[in-house]
Amino acid sequence: MVRRYLAVLGPDGARVARKTCPTGCVRSFAATHRRDRHAWETRDACGFEDFAAKQDELRVWLEAQVWTTTDGPKALFDGAVSRLRRRAMLLPGVTVLARLVAQVREEVTERLWAELCALLSPGQQAGLEALLAVPDGARTSNLERLRRGPTHRSGQEMVRARLWRISRAADYGPLNTAARGRIDTERIRRYWDDICRVVASIHTGAVRAYDVIRMLARDGNPTQLGNAIAHFGRLHKTLHVLSYIDDESYRRAIKGQTSLQESRHALGRWVFHGKHGELRQRYIDGMEDQLGALGLVLNCITLWNTVYMDAALEQLRGEGYPVREEDVVHLSPFARKHVNVNGHYSFLLPDMPGGRRELRDPDDPLDDEEE
């Protein structure tokens, strides 16, 4: 099959095989201790090069792809296979190539984070590190609260919110009617080690969350482990609803995150103005490319706004202007009045020296905003 795929044999593979393969060759091939010899035979017959000789070249290509594109592991793997075939290189094992792709993605991601961290000012670094600290009286850090998506709040949603209890005999007063479900703590305890393994696998990137979700259900019904994880999640959902009811600062934090998300969506609709903001591609890859490009543009605008807002605040403080922190917290990184999305787009990178340009002087009549 390998030789027929590589066009070594003719179109009638069965007829040629009877002429070239002696009787019993398949049986002897299965019994041999060196079953990988077909790779050497393919290399010698087709003039292929060993993968080890070109591995560094493929690594450089993968690094460039990861750095300049948003391709995922599957697209990178397929691209690497196509590149190896075009250059007549012997394909390695699937595991070897998948491990190389994962290793390159991890190295490039770490380099990206290192370069982004180097751009931060000491004040910005201190602000980000403060997000890791757990405030007094809180259960999680501010970073963990930011990572969780905001919850849509309304009176109807709070009425429909369902709480779960551990003990059926417990009295929760006015919440008795809402706390109708029961959490099976014994099931959680029985599968606790497996739950920890699943969480660690997702956190370390050993498996994808999508694959774990498929593993936790079978034919539309959750597995035993899936049920245990569901009961464990109901603990946190109940705590979240109770905190939302009782803690005003928690409600304000959720409202603030919801406002940020709505502002980001508004910026996305404003940037994605072509075709009324609708995805018209007929294939998934095209839609993913459009959404990836939109996310990149939104991140660029947000980063630009954040950097120059911070520079403007520092300049105002240095010039003696009163800058109140209660006003600073209301600044939004999703401002868009200064960005023009209409006109002709040029994708040629200009020759720019880099660094941050000087801020405009609003009192200088020669420093016109319209350049």
**How high is the pLDDT of residue 3?**
45
CA dist list (Å): 318 to 313, 314, 321: 9, 6, 8
Q: Would you say residue 2 has pLDDT above 50?
A: no
**How high is the pLDDT of residue 27?**
62
**196: β partners:** none
> How would you class 250 by CB atoms within 10 Å of its CB: exposed for 0-12, middle for 13-18, buried for 19 or more?
middle
Q: What is the reported pTM? A: 0.44
Q: What is the mean pLDDT of the chain?
A: 78
DSSP 278-343: ----SSHHHHHHHHHHHHHHHHHHHHHHHHHHHHHHHHHHHTT----HHHHTT--TT--TT----S
**How high is the pLDDT of residue 7?**
42
pLDDT band at 25 (very low <50, low <70, confident <90, very high): low
pLDDT band at 187 (very low <50, low <70, confident <90, very high): very high
Residue closest to 48 by CA, chosen among 5, 91, 109, 11: 91
Tell me what the mean pLDDT of segment 34-39 comes to: 58
Express each pLDDT in 222-269 by its tens digit: 889 989 998 998 888 888 888 888 888 888 888 888 888 888 888 888
CA 75 to CA 292: how far, in whole Å? 14
Helix (H) or strand (E) holding 204: helix 192-204
pLDDT band at 157 (very low <50, low <70, confident <90, very high): low
Tell me what the mean pLDDT of segment 204-213 comes to: 79
Tell me the domain boundaries of the chain: 1-47, 50-119, 161-246, 265-328
Q: Would you say residue 10 has pLDDT above 60?
A: no
Tell me what the mean pLDDT of segment 73-95 comes to: 84
Helix (H) or strand (E) holding 246: helix 224-246
pLDDT > 90 in the chain, percent: 9
Torsion angle in degrees (nearest 10) through CA of 161, 167, 169, 174 = -30
Handedness of CA 247, 252, 258, 260 (dihedral sign): negative
CA 243 to CA 236: how far, in whole Å? 10
